[in-house]
């Protein structure tokens, strides 16, 4: 399968010695927050496959969709620009008077930005993207559409490769890999990649059955592209750490984010990695998870910006 190399790989695997001492369990980290700066995070691994396909098809513009502060949309916009392509994003919600964080970066890079209501996003985002692509075609643009989160069979191949990258990097007998789950492509790819430790995907919204279904769908698509079948065991979706809603973090999740920043100088975000790390911290403290554990850092640091009020007093 054609693949670009936008992501800076391999990302490092490092011990978190002070967090390990604090928890009494050995914890390591896979630094996919270091796949690039503007191109930071897990999404770039998927984009290496999607944008290779876009190039092969002669695309001159890329369309995708996500929340107003989507990391995936920001990474897609900047990756498209690195390749000299136009980029458009369909965002869920109303634009604020002034943009910050990921939305600011979308604007800086001159993305075409459209918004839709939460209901339209839930029920018709794919149709809206298809109609937008049609419109662009009539104006002479050759569009390539990437689904929400880059999470389809093709995107998941980025994480099949990531599982192999880890296998070649570390012979540590990890008991468990912990990773955030937002649209399922990362977990699907890691599960398909045949990682030996248990892979615990922490839901950041929705429930476990929804994501399990999503992982199976994505794996079936990846199967049509030649990947191995999804193993029946060895992966799971963990719920209970979603907080009140998508992108809303409890004070306890913020405490975990500050704990890791202060002990390790590692930045987590309140939408994805903060929730996944909170699961790791809570489950090890409760004695349910033992080590060594590998925390797969999926990026998302721009999600911290604009959230200062929630950190006051921690
Ligand atoms: C920073 C970050 N971590 C984790 C995820 C979850 O990955 P996936 O959508 O593949 O489940 C996302 C995107 O949804 C993300 O932006």
Question: Does 115 share its domain with 37?
Answer: no
What share of the chain has pLDDT > 70, as a percent?
100
On the question of pLDDT at 23 being above 90, the answer is: yes
Distance CA 6, CA 250 (A): 34
On the question of pLDDT at 312 being above 90, the answer is: no
Span from the CA of 137 to the centroid of ligand 1 (angstroms): 30
Question: Does 214 share its domain with 86?
Answer: no
Between 13-17, 140-144, 192-196, the lowest mean confidence (pLDDT) is in 192-196
- Mean pLDDT computed over 110-134: 98
Span from the CA of 183 to the centroid of ligand 1 (angstroms): 7
Would you place residue 171 in the very low, low, confident or very high pLDDT band (cuts 50, 70, 90)? confident
- pLDDT given for residue 196 in this prediction: 81
Specify the number of domains making up the chain.
2
Q: pLDDT by residue (tens digit) across 188-222?
A: 999 999 888 899 999 999 999 999 999 999 999 99
What share of the chain has pLDDT > 90, as a percent?
96
For residue 145, what are the CA distances in angstroms to 60, 87, 134, 151, 203? 11, 10, 11, 12, 25
Question: Could you tell which of 39, 180, 192 is best to mutate to test the pocket of ligand 1, judged by most ligand atoms within 8 Å of the CB?
Answer: 180
- pLDDT given for residue 170 in this prediction: 83
* Antiparallel, parallel or unpaired: β 176-181 and 198-203: parallel
Is residue 69 in a domain?
Answer: yes
- Mean pLDDT computed over 272-286: 98
Q: Whose CA is nearest to atom 12 of ligand 1?
A: 182
- Residue numbers annotated as active site: 70
Nearest atom in ligand 1 to the alpha carbon of residue 151 is 10
- pLDDT given for residue 138 in this prediction: 98
Q: Whose CA is nearest to atom 5 of ligand 1?
A: 182
Question: Residue 185's closest CA among 37, 40, 21, 41?
Answer: 41
Nearest atom in ligand 1 to the alpha carbon of residue 46 is 10
Span from the CA of 274 to the centroid of ligand 1 (angstroms): 12
Question: Does 219 share its domain with 82?
Answer: no
Question: Could you tell which of 32, 38, 43, 302 is best to mutate to test the pocket of ligand 1, judged by most ligand atoms within 8 Å of the CB?
Answer: 43
On the question of pLDDT at 57 being above 90, the answer is: yes
Would you place residue 150 in the very low, low, confident or very high pLDDT band (cuts 50, 70, 90)? very high
- pLDDT given for residue 172 in this prediction: 82
Question: Does 130 share its domain with 205?
Answer: no
State phi, psi for 174 to the nearest 5 degrees.
-65, 140
Q: Of 150, 167, 182, which marks where a domain is finished?
A: 150
Is residue 4 in a domain?
Answer: no
- Mean pLDDT computed over 242-252: 96
Would you place residue 313 in the very low, low, confident or very high pLDDT band (cuts 50, 70, 90)? confident
Nearest atom in ligand 1 to the alpha carbon of residue 273 is 3
Which protein residues touch ligand 1 with a CB less than 6 Å away? 41-42, 71-72, 149, 151, 180-187, 272-273, 298-300
Segment holding 252, helix H or strand E: helix 251-264
Distance CA 148, CA 8 (A): 23
The length of the chain in residues reads: 314
Domain extent for 92: 43-150
Question: Does 85 share its domain with 200?
Answer: no
Question: Does 36 share its domain with 49?
Answer: no
Would you place residue 314 in the very low, low, confident or very high pLDDT band (cuts 50, 70, 90)? confident
On the question of pLDDT at 67 being above 90, the answer is: yes
Nearest atom in ligand 1 to the alpha carbon of residue 148 is 9
**Number of other residues whose CB lies within 10 A of the CB of residue 38:** 17
Span from the CA of 167 to the centroid of ligand 1 (angstroms): 21
- Mean pLDDT computed over 140-148: 98
Question: Could you tell which of 272, 279, 303 is best to mutate to test the pocket of ligand 1, judged by most ligand atoms within 8 Å of the CB?
Answer: 272
Q: Of 80, 115, 150, which marks where a domain is finished?
A: 150
- pLDDT given for residue 99 in this prediction: 96
Question: Does 84 share its domain with 95?
Answer: yes
- pLDDT given for residue 269 in this prediction: 98
- pLDDT given for residue 125 in this prediction: 97
Span from the CA of 257 to the centroid of ligand 1 (angstroms): 17
Question: Residue 17's closest CA among 305, 306, 292?
Answer: 292
- pLDDT given for residue 311 in this prediction: 87
pLDDT averaged over every residue in the chain: 97
């Amino acid at each position: 399968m054609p693949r670009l190399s936008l992501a800076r790989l391999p990302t490092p695997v490092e011990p978190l010695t002070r967090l390990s001492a604090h928890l009494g369990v050995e914890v390591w980290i896979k630094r996919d927050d270091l796949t690039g700066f503007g191109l930071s995070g897990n999404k770039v691994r998927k984009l290496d496959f999607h944008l290779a396909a876009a190039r092969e098809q002669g695309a001159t513009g890329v369309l995708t969709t996500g929340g107003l502060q989507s990391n995936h949309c920001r990474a897609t916009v900047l990756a498209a620009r690195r390749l000299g392509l136009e980029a458009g994003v369909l965002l869920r919600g109303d634009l604020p008077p002034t943009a910050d964080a990921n939305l600011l970066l979308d604007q800086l890079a001159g993305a075409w930005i459209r918004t839709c209501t939460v209901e339209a996003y839930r029920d018709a985002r794919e149709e809206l993207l298809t109609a937008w692509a049609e419109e662009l075609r009539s104006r002479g643009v050759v569009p390539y559409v990437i689904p929400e989160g880059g999470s389809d069979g093709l995107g998941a191949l980025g994480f099949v490769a990531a599982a192999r990258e880890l296998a070649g990097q570390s012979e540590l007998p990890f008991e468990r890999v912990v990773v955030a789950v937002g649209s399922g492509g990362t977990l699907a790819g890691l599960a398909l990649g045949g990682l030996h430790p248990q892979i615990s995907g922490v839901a950041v919204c929705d429930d476990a059955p929804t994501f399990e279904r999503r992982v199976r769908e994505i794996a079936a698509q990846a199967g049509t592209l030649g990947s191995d079948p999804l193993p029946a065991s060895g992966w799971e979706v963990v719920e209970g750490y979603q907080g009140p809603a998508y992108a809303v973090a409890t004070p306890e999740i913020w405490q975990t984010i500050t704990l890791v920043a202060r002990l390790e100088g590692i930045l987590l975000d309140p939408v994805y990695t903060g929730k996944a790390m909170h699961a790791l911290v809570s489950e090890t403290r409760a004695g349910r998870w033992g080590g060594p554990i590998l925390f797969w850092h999926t990026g998302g640091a721009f999600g911290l910006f604009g959230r200062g009020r929630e950190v006051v007093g921690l």
